[in-house]
Structure 1
Amino acid sequence: MQIRLSDIGEGIAEVQMKQWHVKIGDQIQEFENLCDVQSDKASVTITSRFSGTVRRLYCEIDEIVPVGSPLLDIETEDGSENIPPDKAADQSEDIPKRPASDDSFTISKNKKTVITTPSVRRLAMENKINLSEIKGTGPGAEDEKKSLSTTSALIEDQVIPIRGYRRAMVKTMTSANSIPHFTYCDEVNADALIKLRHSLMSMNELEKVKITYLSIQIKALSLALLRFPMLNAHLNDTVTELICKTSHNISFAVDTPDGLVVPFISDCQKKSIIEIAKQISHLQAKALNNKLTNAELVGGTFTMSNIGSIGGTYASPVIFPPQVAICAVGRFQKLPRYDEQSNLKMCNIMPVSWAADHRIIDGAMVAKFSNLFKIYLENPSLMLAELN
């Protein structure tokens, strides 16, 4: 019985084989995990619709597999050998998945078992390192990851195929190159923002939710978008229609070992700061473990990049089509500024950089929008007047 790669949607024509969960000779049951594949948008777990014995694997790890290609042969209990392709395999959204808490697995080689996490495995794969040969200095996969990092220096040229999230980035940025960007920069006095975060963290100790500056910034952004709906929009391919979206699906950038990925938080206009913070933590964890689905990646209406968490101040952010605007927040700095009474004092300054599609968004609109965003963050009490 030949199992083929079925169409997993979103116009995906091929995937990369990331991991086999079975080997030749294994007895498998219906709904058991067969393999993990990576498209240019998301990771998908393929499971079996049948019980039987694995007789052949057609694909190697990292091999590119076109839709419709054979994945493996299974000998079923009744000895059947043929099966219609559309019954063979399906994407993980349609069939039971392995538990979300299963964030580690074992790799067996030469009878030695290595327990590790997906991020460690990816790091080892990228640097062609045998995990069984890595000896950590303490317990846990994170310690092994540190050991890996110390042995990953290149000793010869390395060819890295552009796949997965990086391939998606190539397509997106190539498309963005046709957009005339209008860039606008400003700074925000973040003293009140810092106090607000400390207050929310103190009030939220029981729930143990990590309240980040990003969660507050996204809420302020959503409130400002209520006044400027043209910035929360998609532009069609022929540039004849601007579709203003009712839902504020705010995308945010996550740096992963496999490249930059941009999931979104849906309906931010309806969510509290704490709810947004929970979603950020949830999506970041999925992104770092390569578990984001297409539904969490496709549909953002505005993007915020927190480049300051890594470093840097101002940036020239690049719009993610079909969106029409993006914001990049830089690293907080303690700088001298004059107050309204002309007194010089030290302030926490947050750099903000905006980019908008200048074909349909003019500079005045971006400046007014930035001013409102700044007002909300410098005067958090004013945000209360806009909350439902």
Structure 2
Amino acid sequence: MAAARVLRSWSRSARHLSCVNHIQICRSIHAVKPKYTCLFGYSSFQFSHPHRLLRTTSTVSGQIVQFKLSDIGEGITEVIVKEWYVKEGDTVSQFDSICEVQSDKASVTITSRYDGIIRKLYYALEDTAFVGKPLVDIETESLKGVDRTTDRTKLVNKDSEEDVVETPAVFHDEHTHQEIKGHKTLATPAVRRLAMENNIKLSEVVGTGKDGRILKEDILNYLAKQTGAILPPSPKSEIITPLPKSEKIQTIPKDKPIPLPVSKPKVFTDKDRTEPITGFERAMVKTMTMAMKIPHFGYCDEVDLTELVKLREQLKPLALARGIKLSYMPFFLKAASLGLLQFPILNASVDENCQNITYKASHNIGVAMDTSQGLIVPNVKNVQLCSVFEIATELNRLQKLGATNQLGTADITGGTFTLSNIGSIGGTYAKPVILPPEVAIGAFGAIKVLPRFNEKGKLIKTQIMNVSWSADHRIIDGATMSRFSNLWKSYLENPASMLLDLK
């Protein structure tokens, strides 16, 4: 705590007012003793000590802060820098994007915690950055016009309307520490993203969590108070009327050829090249190495999707009117979730030594996606609580993020059961590999029009899809896998039966 002693001596002349201030600031460690002598009407006298005019204000130069790569979670210790959104000399604000990094599980956009100027980038593109090490240097913005009324003296000259304001110097380290401390807030990346999307400064939000942590509810409550806005209703509460027959969705005529992309010819080189295994490919190496320790039990069957195909054709325009593309996967996921309620052993996990089984309460069903960066398996959270339309909405979101390599860590972690639609690319049967610590996985082939006999022995046209299951044979026997598959199959062959079990 600084102690200030101000000694004033006054002298008046016919037309001039002089003020001599001696300010001594004493601290336990540092002592700063600037002396100011200012004369109105005369030039400032030259003293052996620093001096300034009373009309000037104190400014504090910014401090260089090392912005370190924080813990991304899931045990990730290093990432690859894929893209820089800033360069040295750029000005950034809190929540501005700094760079995009890629771990062996997801791509993550790193945002700034401070307002300031980028002074140094520690890594080049494709370099490996380590958690806890500096990522960039940011010169934090200086505070201007520091208002300390206890240290301010205002003098008014009767012959002049000018104010005489005196602001003592502020110790640099102390001021910078207060500035940085003032900007420090506790909030998860998801909460920070929500605040950024709604242009909310976290410093203005009162956190109700532990140690003042800002929660999602705090952001929503603050937004409601500021704007008086009502949060949009969930998709299940929306009522969308069917489209009139006169307003049919325009489709591409079947006889009109669809232009195919022209692929560039490959350039042949006679040299071998070696590349490091990084990113998602490294994650696949690690996961598949663990998976091969699991004794897989395979089971295959075919499913008649004729009724489901008809139902989807009826619901597609309704979903499209809500802005959602409706595929078969939401039905597959919902049917699987209903089956997992009857066979919870398939929605479980085992420890490394297979000594304990953990039955998962949530059905976080993963969906394998083929992207430009390789195989990614994001998952739809809490499928047991979602409607078919809500599942479709979430799948649309995950597919858009996957196509642009923007899936977050939360999107691809926490899965409890996995489905792979390999048939969208081609093929009929597959041998899916379990993703540890899960214990089961399913893969679907392409839907094909095939002849089959009905109950009356009449040959009919049907929509057939083959499914291939793999289960951890250490804890799941063949009978359990077969019964689950039969139940899942019955829901899809008779979609109306799902209504009896939907919640």
Report the counterpart of residue 489 of structure 2 in structure 1: 374
Preserved CA contact (<8 Å) 1:47 1:92: no
Q: Quick check: 1:342 aligned with 2:406?
A: no
Task: Measure the CA separation in 2 of the matches of 1:255 and 1:205.
Answer: 24
Task: Measure the CA separation in 1 of the matches of 2:454 and 2:114.
Answer: 71
1:40 corresponds to which letter in structure 2? Answer: D
Report the counterpart of residue 162 of structure 1 in structure 2: 277
Over residues 286-307 of structure 1, what are the superposed CA-to-partner deviations in whole Å (9 max), with x where a residue is unaligned?
A: 1222222222211111100000
Where relative contact order (Cα < 8 A, 6+ residues apart) is larger, the structure is 1
Q: Return the match for 1:150 from 264, 282, 288.
A: 264
Report the counterpart of residue 184 of structure 1 in structure 2: 299
Q: CA RMSD in A?
A: 2.6
Q: Quick check: 1:233 aligned with 2:233?
A: no
Report the counterpart of residue 76 of structure 2 in structure 1: 12
1:202-213 alignment to 2 at 5 Å?
202-213=317-328
Preserved CA contact (<8 Å) 1:180 1:357: yes
DSSP-derived class of the 2:276 partner: coil
Task: Measure the CA separation in 2 of the matches of 1:247 and 1:225.
Answer: 10
Q: 1:3 to 1:151 in 2, by over 3 A?
A: farther
Q: Return the match for 2:192 from 74, 90, 95.
A: 95
Q: 1:267 to 1:76 in 2, by over 3 A?
A: closer
Percent identity, aligned pairs only?
A: 50
1:153-302 alignment to 2 at 5 Å?
153=267, 155=269, 157-302=272-417
1:355 corresponds to which letter in structure 2? Answer: S
Preserved CA contact (<8 Å) 1:47 1:95: no
DSSP-derived class of the 2:321 partner: coil
Task: Measure the CA separation in 2 of the matches of 1:60 and 1:182.
Answer: 46
Q: Return the match for 2:420 from 305, 311, 333.
A: 305
Task: Measure the CA separation in 1 of the matches of 2:190 and 2:448.
Answer: 44
Q: Return the match for 1:36 from 100, 113, 118.
A: 100
Q: 1:4 to 1:91 in 2, by over 3 A?
A: farther
Structure 1 unaligned segments of length 5 or more: list them. 101-145
Task: Measure the CA separation in 1 of the matches of 2:137 and 2:317.
Answer: 57
Q: Quick check: 1:359 aligned with 2:456?
A: no
Task: Measure the CA separation in 2 of the matches of 1:31 and 1:309.
Answer: 38
2:264 corresponds to which letter in structure 1? Answer: T
Task: Measure the CA separation in 2 of the matches of 1:29 and 1:282.
Answer: 28
Task: Measure the CA separation in 2 of the matches of 1:205 and 1:5.
Answer: 41
Q: Return the match for 1:64 from 109, 120, 128.
A: 128
Preserved CA contact (<8 Å) 2:299 2:469: yes
Preserved CA contact (<8 Å) 1:165 1:261: yes
Structure 2 unaligned segments of length 5 or more: list them. 1-63, 143-171, 199-260
* CA apart distance, 1:54: 2.2
2:76 corresponds to which letter in structure 1? Answer: I
* CA apart distance, 1:205: 4.2
Query: When the two structures are superposed, what TM-score results if normalisation uses the length of structure 2?
Result: 0.63
Query: When the two structures are superposed, what TM-score results if normalisation uses the length of structure 1?
Result: 0.81
Report the counterpart of residue 227 of structure 2 in structure 1: none
Report the counterpart of residue 442 of structure 2 in structure 1: 327
Over residues 229-282 of structure 1, what are the superposed CA-to-partner deviations in whole Å (9 max), with x where a residue is unaligned?
A: 111111122211111122211110111111111111111112111111111001
Preserved CA contact (<8 Å) 2:320 2:326: no
* CA apart distance, 1:77: 4.0
DSSP-derived class of the 1:95 partner: helix
* CA apart distance, 1:227: 1.1
Report the counterpart of residue 116 of structure 2 in structure 1: 52
Preserved CA contact (<8 Å) 1:187 1:352: yes
Report the counterpart of residue 26 of structure 1 in structure 2: 90
* CA apart distance, 1:168: 1.6
Task: Measure the CA separation in 2 of the matches of 1:99 and 1:40.
Answer: 27
Q: 1:152 to 1:70 in 2, by over 3 A?
A: farther
Out of 194-203 and 346-355, give the one that drifted further.
194-203
DSSP-derived class of the 2:135 partner: strand
Task: Measure the CA separation in 1 of the matches of 2:356 and 2:70.
Answer: 34
Report the counterpart of residue 165 of structure 2 in structure 1: none
Higher alpha-carbon Rg = 2
DSSP-derived class of the 2:449 partner: strand
1:309 corresponds to which letter in structure 2? Answer: S
Preserved CA contact (<8 Å) 2:108 2:409: no
Task: Measure the CA separation in 2 of the matches of 1:75 and 1:317.
Answer: 51
Preserved CA contact (<8 Å) 1:22 1:35: yes
Preserved CA contact (<8 Å) 1:183 1:355: yes
Preserved CA contact (<8 Å) 1:46 1:91: no
Q: 1:240 to 1:154 in 2, by over 3 A?
A: farther
Over residues 93-122 of structure 1, what are the superposed CA-to-partner deviations in whole Å (9 max), with x where a residue is unaligned?
A: 46347759xxxxxxxxxxxxxxxxxxxxxx
Q: Which runs of 4+ in 1 moved over 6 A?
A: 79-84
* CA apart distance, 1:28: 2.5
Q: 1:247 to 1:94 in 2, by over 3 A?
A: closer
Task: Measure the CA separation in 2 of the matches of 1:48 and 1:318.
Answer: 39
* CA apart distance, 1:336: 2.0
Task: Measure the CA separation in 2 of the matches of 1:42 and 1:296.
Answer: 9
Report the counterpart of residue 135 of structure 1 in structure 2: none
Q: 1:220 to 1:30 in 2, by over 3 A?
A: closer
Q: 1:280 to 1:205 in 2, by over 3 A?
A: closer
Q: 1:43 to 1:190 in 2, by over 3 A?
A: same
